[in-house]
């Protein structure tokens, strides 16, 4: 009886999401000019998309390993704050981070000025290096958290044992750490690879022209530069095949997403007590912290200066974006609850299939498809907010489901029999049993969705007309028209909105706990 | 309460008056509507006489404007598109969305202009702008051999970007792909529009930026800054003639005509040189502002006819893309 929580809603919602994406795909296919022909520059786009994703994933993971290791075995003041900070890029609007990264690593940025003092040439951020740098900024913390989580799964006793045996560091690494890394790394690599494969906003702002165009960006260009729906369609299909295949490969090895609590117990490491490892760890942690903090501080500092220069259009856009996030989060909750209850009640890993779909369907593909569907019937601009909110919710759904399912499963296992004996079913099960127990997770998932939606610069670029915009789009326009000060102000507002919305939702979830 | 009622009444009345006023929507490129662009001054000048509400709407750079109109199609609320150029005329006419005009003027263009759909409002020569403390190259080959970093615009979204494509094609013909291959490592980045490029250049991100021979006049006149110059290239400079056209679906066709007629009059043309930093299509009675005489005039000017440029556009774009992705 109780297992039926979400037994009807779950399949309906999943089916609807699937149908929405499928409809987009069919629409896109119908517009594509068959047979598909590919030029030199199209292959270059595919090559670049894959290459930057490989580089971004590898570098993120390579840098994450020593940082995670250092975090796992050191106890210091501010450690838990740092672990929390590692979660920040996940909810940080891409365009805000890009502005911060430009301020720090641009050709006239802080680091170039520093290099100039030593007579070194300035950094060049546009092109592959900029795209990869931004991706590492976003994904190195994610990788660190994933690896840290694995590291902390090694029982302290084992480290005590190797300490007693007096094994040299290399042996410790070989016997304890390497087997663990072998388990965790493929999943982290795969996840980051797939995330970077569908990157749009980073390539839009930091790409250096045709040489560094991702497929997602090429879809946008076909759409906005040439209004060539046929080409946009072909690129969309390409994106689906590429991202779909990689997501399928990534699927088996995908690590679970865990709530941020529970990382606060460092291991006591008898094998790393010397001064040298201690200093090395301090350097790793220090460099990672500076790498994360500097761009964020740049956003805050210049944002405060720019706040007075912010035109009214920005405040209006902020209002639009807030609404968009609220609608999108509402849609997400409506979708995620029945789906996760359904999946939590069933034994098979349906959550994985859904994740696959969410990762493989690119926002711009879905957006293009729905534009094609709406276009002959009505003015797509009127549907801009609805489509954007829906696409944002669908993109957040896999994350939300991964967060919710374990909680659902636990509650259904713990209270299933009790519910039956009490005769609870339907709405009452939700209200009395499930919701209070998954509230923390729901708050976190909603927070993620709200922050992702408010900061999203994707589908909206296809639908928006010149007269209104969401905040990320308005900020991008300000950056483009050389109103850097106003853009900095807008960035701060967007940052506050994203973190604020996340905090409100997350706080609502946690509030129940205490 | 009384206060509330009068306020409400006032708001209602004013919005009623506002609603009666016809609205003319002009889609244009972003830099035209910016605070320092011609938009605000033109709007004020036209609204003095038209008893209407003139709205400039920035819709990206010039070439993206055309995509925007294609996208909106018959549903577009735009009455006039301002900011296409000769290289886009053929593609724009092909959409069937534009209609004919009946404006005649004494143009001061270097070529004779006769077109029943598009009306020129200003013109200029493309050029690379740089800081005077630098030894600028004198042609594309020298630029390609140098280590200089340039920012250019995407020919698919921007009229200067497309102009550069035509410039290299007009100057080098079949050798154009080679020039692009050699130039590829000089290109710091390709931006969507002119504003982004110029912003990057002013920020010091690049040594040179694709702009106009008239751009230094902005720094000279508006900022009393003599540090910027345009590089003179010996293969000649490609010319840009910026155009406006009226949409067949305009809900205010008379007003649109009135605007286009105003566009070639003194009221509009006298604003252009010191806001859009281009040569006016019809020299205003007061002549060109001081400072424009300091600008160099190319020894050789290049321009393809709309038909020619439409014919080579796809090929040139492919060559450009292929060279830049290597």
DSSP secondary structure of A149-160 = HHHTTS-HHHHH
- For residue B239, give the H/E element and its range: strand B237-247
Residues of A in contact with B67 (CB under 8 A): 223-227
Distance from CA of B292 to the nearest CA of A (A): 25
Interface pTM, i.e. ipTM: 0.83
Residues 6+ apart with CB under 8 A from A29: A233, A237
3-state helix, strand, coil in chain B (%, to 5): 45, 20, 35
**pLDDT value for A86:** 87
B30 — contact with chain A (CB < 8 Å)? yes
Sequence-distant (6+) residues with CB within 8 A of A507 are: A443
pLDDT in tens, chain A (514 residues): 444 556 777 888 888 888 888 898 888 888 776 666 777 788 889 999 999 999 999 999 999 999 998 988 888 888 888 888 888 888 899 999 999 998 898 877 888 888 888 888 877 788 899 999 999 999 999 999 888 887 777 777 777 787 788 778 788 788 888 888 887 888 888 888 988 998 899 998 888 688 889 999 998 988 888 888 888 888 888 888 888 888 777 766 655 544 444 444 555 665 666 778 888 889 999 999 999 999 999 999 999 999 988 888 899 999 999 999 999 999 999 998 888 888 877 766 555 566 666 667 778 888 888 888 888 888 888 888 889 999 999 888 888 888 888 888 777 777 777 777 777 666 777 777 777 778 888 899 999 999 999 999 988 888 777 777 899 999 988 887 777 889 999 999 999 999 999 999 988 888 765 5
Name the DSSP letter for residue A431: I
Higher-pLDDT residue of B256, A343: B256
- The rounded distance, in Å, linking the Cα atoms of A458 and A216 is 9
Backbone angles phi, psi at B306, to 5 degrees: -50, -40
What count of Cα atoms within 13 Å lies in the side-chain half-sphere of residue A261?
Answer: 6
Instruction: In whole angstroms, give the CA distance from residue A144 to residue A185.
Output: 10
Among candidates B64, B189, B192 on the partner chain, residue whose Cβ is nearest the Cβ of A127? B189
Mean per-residue pLDDT, B148-175: 94
Question: For strand B237-247 and strand B98-99, is the pairing parallel, antiparallel, or unpaired?
Answer: antiparallel
Residue A492 CA to residue A101 CA, distance in Å, equals: 14
Distance, CA of B144 to CA of A267 (rounded, Å): 57
- What is the distance between the alpha carbons of residues A382 and A360, in angstroms, rounded to a whole number? 27
Tell me if chain A has a CB within 8 Å of the CB of B275.
no
DSSP B295: S
d(CA A386, CA A397): 16
Asked if A39 and B321 come within 8 Å (Cβ–Cβ), the reply is yes
The closest alpha carbon to A382, from B190, B77, B70, belongs to: B77
What CA–CA distance (Å, rounded) separates A421 from A403? 29
- List CB contacts (< 8 A) between B32 and chain A: none
- Is B70 touching A (CB cutoff 8 A)? yes
* 3.40.50.720, 3.10.310.10, 1.10.3720.10, 1.20.140.10: CATH of A1-31+310-514: 1.10.3720.10
- Judged by CB atoms closer than 8 Å, whether chains meet at B205 and A108 is answered as yes
Q: With contact defined as beta carbons under 8 Å apart, do B243 and B89 qualify?
A: yes
pLDDT for A348 equals: 60
Instruction: Tell me what pLDDT residue B12 has.
Output: 45
Q: Are strands B150-153 and B208-212 parallel, antiparallel or unpaired?
A: parallel
Q: How far apart are CA A449 and CA A326, in angstroms?
A: 9
Residue B95: is its pLDDT beyond 60?
yes
- CA nearest B26 in A: which residue? A466
Cα–Cα distance, A415 to A413 (Å, whole number)? 6
Backbone φ and ψ of B145, nearest 5°: -80, -20
Chains A, B: CB contacts within 8 A come to 103
Pairing outcome for strands B53-58 and B23-28: parallel
Contacts of A136 (CB under 8 A, 6+ apart): A56, A59, A60, A63
CB B264 within 8 A of CB B103: yes
A227 inside 8 A of chain B by CB: yes
Give the mean pLDDT of chain B.
90
In chain A, where the domains are located: 1-31+310-514, 40-297
CB nearest B71 (choices: A107, A227, A482): A227
Burial class (CB in 10 A: 0-12, 13-18, 19+), B161: buried
CA distance B189 to A213: 11
- Per-residue confidence (pLDDT) for residue B138, from 0 to 100: 95
CA-based end-to-end distance of chain B: 72
Check: CB of residue A321 under 8 Å from CB of residue A313: no
Q: Which fold has domain B21-123+240-293?
A: D-Maltodextrin-Binding Protein; domain 2 (3.40.190)
| pLDDT of the residue at A490 | 95
> Which residue from B63, B187, B189 is facing A225, i.e. has the nearest CB?
B63
Rounded to the nearest 10 degrees, what angle do helices A215-224 and A229-251 cross at? 160
- Residue A97 CA, chain-centre distance (Å), reads 13
Query: How many Å apart are CA A268 and CA A368, to the nearest integer?
Result: 53
pLDDT given for residue A182 in this prediction: 83
Task: Mark residue B139 as left, alpha or beta (left: phi above 0; alpha: psi -120 to 50; beta: remaining).
Answer: beta
The full set of domain ranges for chain B reads: 21-123+240-293, 124-238+299-325
3-state SS class at B230? strand
What local confidence, expressed as pLDDT, does residue B6 receive?
Answer: 45
Q: Do A210 and B324 touch (CB under 8 A)?
A: yes
pLDDT tops 50 at residue B13: no
**Which residues 355-384 of A are in CB contact (within 8 Å) with B?**
379
Using a CB-CB cut-off of 8 Å, the residues of chain B touching A41 are 318, 321-322, 325
For residue B191, the chain A residue with the least C-alpha distance is A209
Contacts of B30 in chain A (CB under 8 A): 477, 480-481
Residue with tokens 């002009």: B26
Amino acid B8: pLDDT: 45
For residue A53, give how far its alpha carbon lies from the nearest alpha carbon of chain B (Å): 17
Provide the phi-psi class of B193: left if phi over 0, else alpha when psi is between -120 and 50, else beta. beta
Residue B118 to residues A417, B113, B182, B226, B244, Cα–Cα distance (Å): 78, 10, 36, 36, 6
**Beta-carbon contacts of residue A463 (< 8 Å; ≥ 6 apart):** A367, A371, A380, A381, A383, A384, A387, A388
CATH topology of domain A40-297: MetI-like fold (1.10.3720)
Question: CATH classification of B124-238+299-325, choosing from 3.40.50.450, 3.40.190.10, 3.40.50.1860, 2.30.42.10?
Answer: 3.40.190.10
Residue A225 Cα, gap to closest chain B Cα (Å) = 5
| Interchain pair A210, B321: CB under 8 A | yes
pLDDT: is A105 or B18 the higher one?
A105
3-class secondary-structure state, position A329:
helix
Residues from chain B that touch A124, judged by Cβ atoms under 8 A, are 149, 188
């Amino acid at each position: 009886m109780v297992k039926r929580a979400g037994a009807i809603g779950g399949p309906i919602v999943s089916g609807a999401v699937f149908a929405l994406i499928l409809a987009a795909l069919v629409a896109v296919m119908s517009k594509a000019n068959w047979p598909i022909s590919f030029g030199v520059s199209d292959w270059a786009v595919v090559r670049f998309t894959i290459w930057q994703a490989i580089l971004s994933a590898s570098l993120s993971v390579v840098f994450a390993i020593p940082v995670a290791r250092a975090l796992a075995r050191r106890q210091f003041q501010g450690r838990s704050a740092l672990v929390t900070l590692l979660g920040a890029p996940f909810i940080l609007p891409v365009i805000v981070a890009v502005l911060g990264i430009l301020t720090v690593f641009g050709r006239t940025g802080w680091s170039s000025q520093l290099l100039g003092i030593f007579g070194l040439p300035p950094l060049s951020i546009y092109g592959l290096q900029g795209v990869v740098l931004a991706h590492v900024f976003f994904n190195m913390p994610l990788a660190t958290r994933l690896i840290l989580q694995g590291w902390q799964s090694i029982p302290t006793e084992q480290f005590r044992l190797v300490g007693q045996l007096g094994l040299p560091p290399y042996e410790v690494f070989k016997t304890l750490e390497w087997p663990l890394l072998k388990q965790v790394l493929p999943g982290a690599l795969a996840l980051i690879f797939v995330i970077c494969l569908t990157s749009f906003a980073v390539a839009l702002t930091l790409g250096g022209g045709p040489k560094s165009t991702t497929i997602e960006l090429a879809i946008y260009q076909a759409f906005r530069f040439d209004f060539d729906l046929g080409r946009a369609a072909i690129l969309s299909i390409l994106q689906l095949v590429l991202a779909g295949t990689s997501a399928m490969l990534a699927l088996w090895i995908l690590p679970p997403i865990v709530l941020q609590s529970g990382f606060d117990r460092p291991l006591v490491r008898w094998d790393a007590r010397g001064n040298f490892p201690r200093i090395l760890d301090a350097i790793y942690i220090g460099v990672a912290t500076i790498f994360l903090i500097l761009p964020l501080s740049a956003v805050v500092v210049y944002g405060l200066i720019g706040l007075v220069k912010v035109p009214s259009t920005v405040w209006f856009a902020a209002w639009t974006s807030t609404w968009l996030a609220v609608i999108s989060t509402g849609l997400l909750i409506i979708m995620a609850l029945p789906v996760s209850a359904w999946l939590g009640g069933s034994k098979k890993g349906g959550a994985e299939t859904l994740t696959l779909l969410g990762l493989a369907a690119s926002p711009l593909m879905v957006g293009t498809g729905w534009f094609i569907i709406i276009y002959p019937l009505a003015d797509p601009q009127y549907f801009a907010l609805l489509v954007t909110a829906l696409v944002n919710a669908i993109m957040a759904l896999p994350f939300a489901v991964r967060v919710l399912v374990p909680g659902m499963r636990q509650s259904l296992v713990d209270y299933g029999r009790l519910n039956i004996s009490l005769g609870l079913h339907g709405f009452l099960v939700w209200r009395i049993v499930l919701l209070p127990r998954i509230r923390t997770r729901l708050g976190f998932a909603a927070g993620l969705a709200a922050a992702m939606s408010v900061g999203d610069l994707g589908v909206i670029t296809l639908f928006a007309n010149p007269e209104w915009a969401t905040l990320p789009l308005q900020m991008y326009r300000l950056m483009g028209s050389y109103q850097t000060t106003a853009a900095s102000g807008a960035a701060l507002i967007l940052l506050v909105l994203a973190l604020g919305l996340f905090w409100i939702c997350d706080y609502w979830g946690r509030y129940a706990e205490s | 309460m009384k206060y509330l009622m009068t306020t409400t009444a006032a708001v209602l009345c004013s919005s009623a008056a506002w609603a009666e006023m016809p609205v003319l929507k002009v889609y244009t490129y972003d830099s035209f509507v910016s605070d320092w662009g011609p938009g605000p001054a033109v709007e004020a000048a036209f609204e003095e006489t038209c008893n209407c509400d003139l709205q400039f709407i920035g819709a990206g750079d010039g070439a993206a404007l055309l995509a925007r109109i294609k996208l909106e199609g018959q549903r577009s609320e735009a009455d006039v598109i301002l900011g296409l150029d000769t290289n886009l005329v053929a593609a724009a006419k092909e959409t069937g969305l534009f209609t004919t005009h009946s404006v005649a003027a004494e143009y001061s263009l270097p070529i004779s202009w006769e077109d029943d759909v598009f009306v020129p409002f200003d013109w200029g020569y493309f050029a690379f702008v740089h800081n005077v403390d630098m030894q600028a190259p004198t042609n594309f080959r020298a630029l390609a051999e140098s280590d200089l970093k340039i920012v250019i615009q995407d020919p698919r979204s921007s009229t200067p970007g497309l102009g550069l494509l035509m410039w290299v094609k007009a100057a080098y013909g079949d050798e154009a792909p080679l020039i692009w291959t050699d130039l590829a490592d000089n290109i710091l980045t390709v931006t969507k529009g002119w504003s982004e490029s110029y912003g990057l250049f002013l920020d010091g991100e690049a040594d040179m930026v694709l702009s106009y021979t008239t751009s230094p006049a902005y720094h000279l006149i508006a900022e009393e800054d003599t540090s910027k110059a345009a590089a003179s290239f010996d293969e000649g400079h490609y010319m840009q003639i910026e155009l406006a056209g009226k949409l067949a679906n305009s809900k205010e066709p008379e007003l649109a005509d009135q605007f286009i007629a105003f566009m070639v009059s003194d009221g509009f043309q006298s604003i252009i040189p010191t806001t859009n930093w281009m040569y006016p299509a019809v020299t205003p009675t007061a002549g060109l502002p001081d400072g424009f005489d300091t600008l160099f005039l190319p020894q050789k000017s290049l321009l393809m006819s709309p038909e020619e440029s439409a014919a080579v556009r796809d090929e040139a774009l492919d060559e450009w893309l292929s060279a830049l992705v290597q």
